[in-house]
Amino acid sequence: MSFRSLRLRLLIAAAAAISVALILGGFGLEYLFDRHVERRVQDELATYLRQLSGGIEFAPDGSFSLRMPLADPRFDQPFSGLYWQVEDNDRGQAIYSRSLWDTKIALPPDPLKVGAIHRHILPGPDHTTLLVQERRIIIPTTKGDRSLRMAVGLDEADLVQARAAFAAELKPSMAILGLVLLIAVWFQVGMGLKPLEAVRRGVMAIRTGDARRLSADQPDEVKPLIDEVNDLLEAQEQAVERARTRAGDLAHGLKTPLTVLQGEARRLRERGQDEIAEEIERLVDVMRRHVDQELNRTRLDERGTLRGVRTPLREMAERVVRTLQRTPAGESHAWHIDIAPDLTVQMNRDDLVELLGNLLDNAAKWATGNIWLRANAAGPQHVMLIVEDDGPGVPAEGLPRLGERGVRLDEAAPGNGLGLAIVRDIVTAYGGSIHFTNRPKGGLHIDARLPC
């Protein structure tokens, strides 16, 4: 699949778009996860602050303690990553969670309004970084109001680990999602290009003669193209028909003058003016050749361009041979046909009959006793048709000129030099090729490559 392929371009564009979307989506999900976890952590720290506020009790001597330990067992594990502390800065008294061990959280000296929560990122025990919430509360006692500063901290490494674990699970999930999307895009592109494939098959059907127009039952995006192609085909058929009509009119228009000129030439010959009569006859012959050439070309433009239908080759060959066997030139020859019954060519029946007729008629003129007609497949799209005779063959210098219009290598033989030229025109119109060589044992060898 080359880069000129529309399918490949669409797939590359889709893969690039999916990759960019997944990368941006991955970063977005990580950011949202980070925000969500951070909110959960802050909510958790706020809960611990409320538990601290409700769990403080004062002794008769004015000291305070925590009535019940907080529920999370990490507060009792040294350097576990979760810590709390309560300070009375006025009296210099403080209590700490067991997890702080012999350290404390170094709170900044910022003024705190009663009940307001401040959030900080502060250094913690064992070279860690803590997410800290602190709050100042006023607790009334029998000896007056007491101002306590409470703080709860969590090791930021827990948040980093949660983020890393989420990213590690997110990457393969994104990769699987990308693969699923690519598979979906592959099917989507295939479905989107199906109308173009239908157009291609329709054009092929027109070329093979199985259809004359493209089907209009296609999506709206493709229908304008189909309408333009159908209009072009219609215009082409009309142009060919007009050309055929003009060529026919020309032939009929020249038929009477040429007949008159031929009659004048005969009368001149009767008067003994042979030189002038011969010149007029030569000019009449040249004009008739040109008329025949244009008529033949117009017919091929009409049929050969559209490729016609599939025609059985052996059936047409036997029909032509039976006709030639009734002629003086063909009745004395042995005809050898070696063609498979199921072998077909992609040609109009009339064109094939004319091609075979001219080839075999030429062979009958020169053969001394045998004519061979063979055909075999030459690849998936062509048939090689071979015609041979056991006649004298053609001089080597004359082989390149065979098939040229009006060329007669032997003026003594009957004919006007159009037979092989017509054969070449037919073969060329159908996209084939023809070659002339001499047989090693004598005679002419012709091979024509035809579509199948």
Locate 299 and state its tokens: 């017919």
Would you put residue 393 in left (φ > 0), alpha (ψ -120 to 50) or beta? left
**Sheet architecture: strand order including 144-155:** 93-96, 82-88, 144-155, 128-141, 117-124
Measure the CA–CA gap between 433 and 430, rounded to whole angstroms. 9
Token couple for 53:
């506020």
Tokens 């008769």 appear where? 60
The pLDDT of residue 415 is 47
Work out the angle at residue 281's Cα, subtended by the Cα atoms of residues 278 and 282, and round it to the nearest 5 degrees: 85
Asked if 381 and 207 count as a contact pair (C-beta separation under 8 A), the reply is no
Q: Is the dihedral of CA 110, 113, 114, 116 positive or negative?
A: negative
Residue type, 248: G
Count CA atoms within 13 Å of residue 147 on its CB side: 9
Q: What pLDDT sits at residue 302?
A: 54
Residue 287 near residue 258 (C-beta atoms within 8 A): yes
Q: How many CB atoms lie within 10 A of CB 267?
A: 10
Q: Which amino acid is at 368?
A: T
**Model pLDDT for residues 177-201, shown as the tens digit of each residue:** 999 999 999 999 888 888 888 888 8
Kindly calculate the radius of gyration of the chain based on its CA atoms and give it in whole angstroms. Answer: 50
Residue 304 has a pLDDT of 46
Instruction: Report the C-alpha gap between 120 and 153 in whole angstroms.
Output: 9
Q: In what order do the strands lie in the sheet with 433-438?
A: 334-338, 370-377, 382-389, 444-451, 433-438
Instruction: Please name every residue paired with 216 in a beta bridge, in sequence order, or none if there are none.
Output: none
Q: Any idea which residue has 């350097």 for tokens?
A: 79
Strands 334-338 and 370-377: parallel
For 228-277, what is the HEC assignment?
Answer: HHHHHHHHHHHHHHHHHHHHHHHHHHHHHHHHHHHHHHHHHHHCCCHHHH
Cα 62 to chain centroid, rounded: 86
What CATH fold (topology level) applies to the domain 310-451?
Answer: Heat Shock Protein 90 (3.30.565)
Domain ranges of the chain: 56-156, 223-303, 310-451
Report d(CA 445, CA 385) in Å as an integer: 11
Fold category of 56-156 in CATH: Beta-Lactamase (3.30.450)
Q: At what angle do helices 274-303 and 349-366 cross, to 10 degrees?
A: 140
> Taking the domain 223-303, which CATH number applies?
1.10.287
Note down pLDDT in tens along the chain; length 452 residues.
567 788 888 899 999 999 999 999 999 999 999 999 999 999 999 999 999 988 898 888 888 889 888 889 999 999 999 999 999 888 888 999 999 988 999 999 888 888 889 999 999 998 899 999 999 999 888 778 888 999 999 999 988 888 899 999 999 999 999 999 999 999 998 888 888 888 888 888 877 667 778 888 888 888 888 888 888 888 888 887 787 777 777 776 777 787 778 788 888 888 888 888 888 878 877 777 777 666 666 666 555 444 446 889 999 999 999 988 888 878 889 999 999 999 999 888 888 888 898 999 988 988 999 999 999 988 888 899 999 999 888 888 878 777 665 554 444 444 445 678 888 888 888 888 899 999 888 889 999 998 87
